[in-house]
Amino acid sequence: MLSAPSAAPARPHGGVTAGLALVLVAVLVGVIAQQVGGSGPTADTVRATGRTTTVAVTAEGMRFHPARIEVPAGDRLVIEVTNADERRHDLVLANGVRTGSIPRGDTERLDAGVISGPLDGWCSLPGHRQQGMVLQVVTVGVAHAGPAPTGNVTPRIDAMAVPGADFTARDAALPASGKARVHRIVLRVEEVEREVAPGVRQQLWTFNGTAPGPVLRGRVGDVFEVTLVNEGSMDHGVDFHAGALSPDRPMRPIDPGERLVYRFTATKAGIWMYHCSTMPMLHHVGNGMYER
């Protein structure tokens, strides 16, 4: 939050605040639904052949290539997954086996076991499955009754439930601006579990452990030197709207264990949002990576 030498009359922001809150609630519910959803195959009883089918699969352009694998029934399937995309990806199969998070340019070998029936696969990073990163394994040489069923479980959220006795509301008081004209700030990306509604817990992605993140305050002409430290399990970034420039390179997403220093001068007064800029952006914002 940046302060001007003289403040204009305040305008009501109730409608804007309520609208933003509704959007974040909608994203939150969608993220929770995605995290608890799943599917599983109905395996047919087939005799193991003792053979192994090995297939190379490339993750690129938010797709798996090929997206359909045919394997003889009873064969053991090994999938060599290469990430040729600009983002990290993984591959999860409905029988429970999965790769780790695969960095750009790396290849990981996944032993899917003996394949006895249709099997679904997908990238588990938030939003990637919805954007088309799905894989289908089908067996040949044996008849099946049909595709594997898919079941999704959506948690019930009681919006009128009373918070527990240990609930503490976030202090809405604005932090003091101080006299320093150079603000050196460290934003650590941390993935933590928090109760987001009475009885509902969520794995949040945060700046410095809180959702929303810390409020940054200064004055017009101040310099902000922000060090982003990614202590999460996937790539994250930060986009400062107060910086007034394209964030694609100076505020690019960084991999786990990396850090990035971003420096800008505040030239205009106002309240400016900052948030994680990694795509799909709504999932990162909805998981708590935003503030002003």
Say which residue, 16 or 196, is predicted with more confidence.
196
Q: Is the pLDDT of residue 214 over 50?
A: yes
Q: Which residue has the higher pLDDT, 40 or 193?
A: 193
What is the percentage of the chain residues whose pLDDT exceeds 90? 33
Please give the average per-residue pLDDT across 172-201, as a whole number: 85
Tell me what the mean pLDDT of segment 187-202 comes to.
85
- Output the pLDDT for position 66: 95
Distance, CA of 68 to CA of 137 (rounded, Å): 6
Q: What is the pLDDT of residue 225?
A: 92
- Direct distance between the N- and C-terminal alpha carbons of the chain, in angstroms, rounded to an integer: 6
pLDDT band of residue 196 (cuts 50, 70, 90) is: confident
Least confident residue range of 52-56, 182-186, 210-214: 210-214
Band (pLDDT 50/70/90 cuts) for residue 120 is very high
Where is average pLDDT lowest: 7-16, 87-96, 235-244? 7-16
- pLDDT bracket for residue 141 (50, 70, 90): confident
State the pLDDT confidence band at 124, using cuts at 50, 70 and 90.
very high
Q: Give me the pLDDT at residue 7, please.
A: 45
How far is the C-alpha of 126 from the C-alpha of 112, rounded, in Å?
22
The residue-averaged pLDDT of 171-183 equals 84
d(C-alpha 87, C-alpha 234), whole Å: 9
Domains within the chain, CATH numbers bracketed: 49-148 (2.60.40.420), 176-292 (2.60.40.420)
Grade residue 45 by pLDDT with cuts at 50, 70 and 90.
Answer: low
Predicted confidence band of residue 102 (pLDDT cuts 50, 70, 90): very high
In terms of DSSP H, where are the helices of the chain?
14-36, 281-286
Please check whether residue 180 is in contact with residue 217, taking contact to mean a CB–CB distance below 8 angstroms: no
Q: Per-residue pLDDT averaged across 26-42, rounded?
A: 43
pLDDT score, position 269: 85
pLDDT the model gives residue 25: 46
